[in-house]
């Protein structure tokens, strides 16, 4: 094997990264180069032990600063260099096997070290890519310094020959994902070849499908596992709730190769596989009366286990004119999932099958704040909070007048809050930005303001704003309502219960910016240790599978609770 990885760009293959099981405890990156893939993965699963094997000493020196352990050596000559008594949950070969003299033996040897449900990921250049045939036909084939025609490539694979190599290593094939590049040029090339392909008895469309992918990513498992379909509906994104409760959890579940997850419109819910466990998660559905009954019957007819995803107190719907006696959102489904124990208690009278999955983050954002300790940025970005912040606005204006440019306000969404600020040191983003943009805005601030009035509705809310701020290394300045449950006052955030406490807390944060940053650092550490989606993947999957196994029992309970569903 010959590899001088330091000549390659230092970034992770995003599609390969998205296929590493998020719940892995130990992963091995074979040919880890400078450790970019493992470093990005650790921002998603900080508790993971990430191992790397690399031939190039210079590249390995960089990787050691990023990964848990790095070994410099030849993967074809050296035995497994790491102590892995519980096995390896994922072995990654990112454009590596083609550089080996005998990749088949390496696969077989490494497969022995997989944990019982371990996964192998292979990203390979596709020798069937149209550019190979084009270069051969035009007499222009030659090796290049990197890319598809890298001069250090010793072996060539098609998706089929790689599938055979994985199967011969004793692995169960999960799926293959093509990475298409310049599809228009592939289509043009195939069109020109069509007469010859037809003369050879080759279907042009089938050839095009084979020749489009520049690379293919294979997933294979040590043991076969029954597939499960997990489909979810989603309300229009608003303030990040859809991302946190639907988009990112499904993205996390999708990293498990046995789970087929998708976000679809409710009318499009249709099983993709026969005789496969299937769960439909309805995001904040408004299921009322005959319309609600019809929608639920359609899902039951397709043998779905139906779960309602809801993260607000039921009084929220009653206040908006919904007749709770006709509401089927909770009692008309098999189970409910929510974000807090308080919400679970509020929902259980309608349905005892309630699971709590606290809000969590998919990935720790890059740190980009506390750049200038002379000026701290105060962030507020929320919807429908005027009753919560209005009693506190006089204190904010008092402090703003006293400290001047030392405190700069950044407001997203809430124009009334922005207009109420009596300071020239403020800026406003009026648009309902997408969640990624919202998190970037938050990440550029130093203090995040989280006011909540004490009432039954607010007490059932989650600590999402604190988790987002902590992940972004932003200091939470938060109400005791809700946030006292998770914020350690003075350690991972600062709490207040009155305007006077807010005044004292904010002045302290401004007076001691280094201490403010330490609080923000501690909050980020808390999120990294306890509030990552990586730590929920296994429990979510187990709950969904258990619901499916109990579906006959759950159907009978549902029949007794809502007999009209089965009329």
CATH number of the domain at 470, please. Answer: 3.40.50.2000
Q: What is the DSSP string of 2-52?
A: ---GGGS-----HHHHTTS-TT-SEEEEET-TTSHHHHHHHTT-TT-EEEE
Same domain, 33 and 104: yes
Residues listed for the chain: 567
Instruction: Give me the mean pLDDT over the 288-313 stretch.
Output: 96
Q: What percent of the chain has pLDDT above 70? A: 98
Helix axis angle for 159-168 and 103-111, nearest 10°, is 40
Edge-first strand order for the sheet with 259-263 is 259-263, 228-232, 278-283, 305-309, 335-338, 354-356
pLDDT of residue 61: 96
Contact 130, 212 (CB under 8 A): yes
Give residue 4's pLDDT band: very low, low, confident or very high (50, 70, 90). Answer: very low
Is 370 part of any domain? no
- CA dist list (Å): 434 to 248, 386, 448, 467: 13, 22, 18, 18
Q: Indicate the residue among 161, 186, 221 that finishes a domain.
A: 221
**For 183-223, where are the alpha helices, taking DSSP H only?**
183-199, 204-211
Same domain, 88 and 189: yes
pLDDT at 181 over 90: no
Domain count across the chain: 3
pLDDT digits (tens, 9 = 90+) for 528-555: 999 999 999 999 999 999 999 999 999 9
Instruction: Give me the mean pLDDT over the 407-435 stretch.
Output: 93
Is 154 part of any domain? yes
pLDDT at 262 over 90: yes
Is 352 part of any domain? yes
Contact 523, 493 (CB under 8 A): yes
CA quadruple 80, 84, 88, 91: dihedral sign = negative
Q: For the whole model, what pTM was predicted? A: 0.93
Same domain, 257 and 304: yes
Is 490 part of any domain? yes
Beta partners for residue 155, in sequence order: none
**Strand pairing category for 475-479 and 447-450:** parallel
Same domain, 409 and 459: yes
CA gap 242, 283 in Å, rounded: 8
Q: Indicate the residue among 221, 256, 278 that finishes a domain.
A: 221
Contact 208, 183 (CB under 8 A): no
Same domain, 43 and 181: yes
Contact 449, 421 (CB under 8 A): no
Give residue 2's pLDDT band: very low, low, confident or very high (50, 70, 90). Answer: very low
pLDDT of residue 7: 62
Is 368 part of any domain? no
Same domain, 110 and 204: yes
Same domain, 550 and 465: no
Helix axis angle for 513-530 and 499-511, nearest 10°, is 100
CATH number of the domain at 323, please. Answer: 3.40.50
CA gap 455, 313 in Å, rounded: 11
pLDDT of residue 5: 45
Residue 201, phi-psi category: left (phi > 0), alpha (psi -120 to 50), beta (remainder): left
CA gap 494, 417 in Å, rounded: 21
Same domain, 126 and 210: yes
pLDDT of residue 543: 99
3-state helix, strand, coil in the chain (%, to 5): 40, 20, 40
Is 371 part of any domain? no
pLDDT at 6 over 70: no
pLDDT at 1 over 60: no
**Token reading at 354:** 């309630």
pLDDT at 255 over 90: yes
Same domain, 412 and 433: yes
CA gap 511, 452 in Å, rounded: 25
**Which has the minimum average pLDDT: 31-45, 325-339, 450-464, 490-504?**
450-464
CATH number of the domain at 197, please. Answer: 3.40.50.150
Helix axis angle for 499-511 and 393-403, nearest 10°, is 30
**Residue numbers of the domain that contains 187:** 5-221
Give residue 240's pLDDT band: very low, low, confident or very high (50, 70, 90). Answer: low
CA dihedral 262, 264, 268, 273 (to 10 degrees): 0
Is 489 part of any domain? yes
Average pLDDT, the chain: 94
Q: What angle do CA 16, 18, 22 make, to 5 degrees?
A: 120
Give residue 313's pLDDT band: very low, low, confident or very high (50, 70, 90). Answer: confident
**Token reading at 349:** 């009278």
**Which has the minimum average pLDDT: 76-90, 126-140, 272-286, 405-419?**
126-140
**For 91-147, where are the alpha helices, taking DSSP H only?**
103-111, 130-137
238-274 burial: b if 16+ Cβ within 10 Å, else e: ebbbbbbbbbbbbbbbbbbbbbbbebeebeebeeeee
Same domain, 41 and 180: yes
Same domain, 191 and 245: no
DSSP state of 249: H
Same domain, 217 and 239: no
pLDDT at 265 over 80: yes
pLDDT at 472 over 70: yes
**Token reading at 385:** 């909070």
pLDDT digits (tens, 9 = 90+) for 58-101: 999 999 999 999 999 999 999 999 999 999 999 999 999 999 99
- CA dist list (Å): 178 to 91, 162, 281: 19, 13, 28
pLDDT at 238 over 70: no
Q: Indicate the residue among 177, 201, 221 that finishes a domain.
A: 221
Is 96 part of any domain? yes
Sole residue written with tokens 């604190």 = 466
**Token reading at 96:** 């590596």
């Amino acid at each position: 094997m010959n590899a001088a990885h330091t000549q390659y760009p230092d970034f992770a293959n995003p599609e390969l990264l998205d296929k590493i099981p998020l719940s892995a405890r130990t992963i091995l990156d074979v040919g880890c180069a400078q450790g970019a893939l493992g470093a990005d993965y650790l921002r998603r699963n900080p508790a993971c032990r990430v191992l790397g094997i690399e031939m190039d000493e210079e590249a390995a020196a960089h990787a050691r600063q990023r990964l848990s352990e790095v070994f410099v050596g030849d993967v074809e000559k050296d035995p497994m260099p790491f102590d892995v008594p519980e096995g390896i949950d994922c072995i990654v070969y990112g454009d590596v096997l083609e550089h080996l003299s005998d990749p088949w033996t390496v696969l077989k040897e490494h497969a022995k070290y997989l944990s019982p449900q371990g996964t192998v990921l292979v990203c390979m250049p596709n020798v069937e890519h149209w550019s190979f045939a084009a270069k051969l036909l035009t007499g222009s084939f030659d090796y290049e310094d990197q890319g598809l025609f890298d001069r250090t490539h010793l072996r060539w694979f098609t998706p089929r020959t790689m599938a055979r190599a994985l199967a011969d290593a004793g692995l169960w094939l999960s799926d293959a994902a093509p990475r298409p590049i310049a599809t228009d040029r592939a289509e043009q090339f195939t069109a020109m070849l069509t007469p010859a392909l037809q003369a050879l008895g080759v279907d042009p469309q089938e050839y095009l499908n084979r020749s489009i992918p520049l690379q293919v990513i294979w997933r294979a498992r040590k043991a076969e596992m029954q597939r499960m379909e997990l489909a979810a509906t989603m309300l229009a994104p608003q303030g990040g709730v859809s991302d946190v409760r639907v988009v990112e959890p499904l993205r996390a579940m999708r990293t498990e190769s046995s789970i087929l997850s998708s976000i679809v419109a409710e009318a499009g819910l249709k099983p993709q596989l026969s005789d496969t466990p299937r769960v439909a998660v309805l995001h904040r559905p408004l299921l009322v009366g005959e319309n609600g009954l019809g929608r639920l019957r359609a899902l039951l007819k397709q043998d779905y286990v139906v779960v309602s995803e809801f993260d607000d107190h039921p009084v929220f719907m009653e206040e908006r004119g919904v007749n709770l006696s006709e509401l089927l959102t909770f009692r008309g489904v098999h189970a409910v999932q929510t974000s807090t124990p308080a919400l679970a208690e509020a929902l259980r009278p309608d349905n005892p099958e309630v699971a709590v999955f606290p809000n969590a983050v998919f990935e720790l954002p890059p740190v980009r704040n506390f750049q200038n300790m002379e000026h701290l940025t105060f962030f507020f970005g929320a919807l429908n909070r005027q009753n919560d912040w209005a009693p506190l606005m006089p204190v904010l204006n008092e402090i703003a007048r006293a400290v001047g440019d030392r405190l700069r306000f950044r407001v997203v969404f809430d124009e009334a809050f922005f207009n109420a600020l009596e300071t020239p040191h403020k800026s406003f983003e009026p648009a309902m930005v997408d969640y990624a943009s919202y998190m970037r805005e938050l990440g550029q601030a130093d203090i995040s303001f989280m006011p909540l009035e004490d009432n039954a509705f607010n007490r059932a809310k989650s600590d999402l704003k604190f988790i987002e701020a902590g992940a972004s290394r932003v200091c939470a300045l938060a109400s005791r309502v809700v946030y006292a449950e998770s914020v350690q006052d003075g350690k991972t955030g600062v709490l207040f219960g009155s305007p006077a406490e807010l005044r004292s807390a904010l002045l302290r944060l401004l007076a001691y910016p280094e201490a403010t940053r330490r609080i923000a650092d501690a909050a980020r550490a808390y999120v990294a240790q306890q509030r990552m989606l990586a730590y929920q993947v296994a429990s979510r999957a187990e709950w969904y599978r258990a619901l499916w196994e109990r579906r006959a029992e759950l159907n009978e309970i549902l029949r007794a609770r809502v007999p009209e569903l089965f009329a």
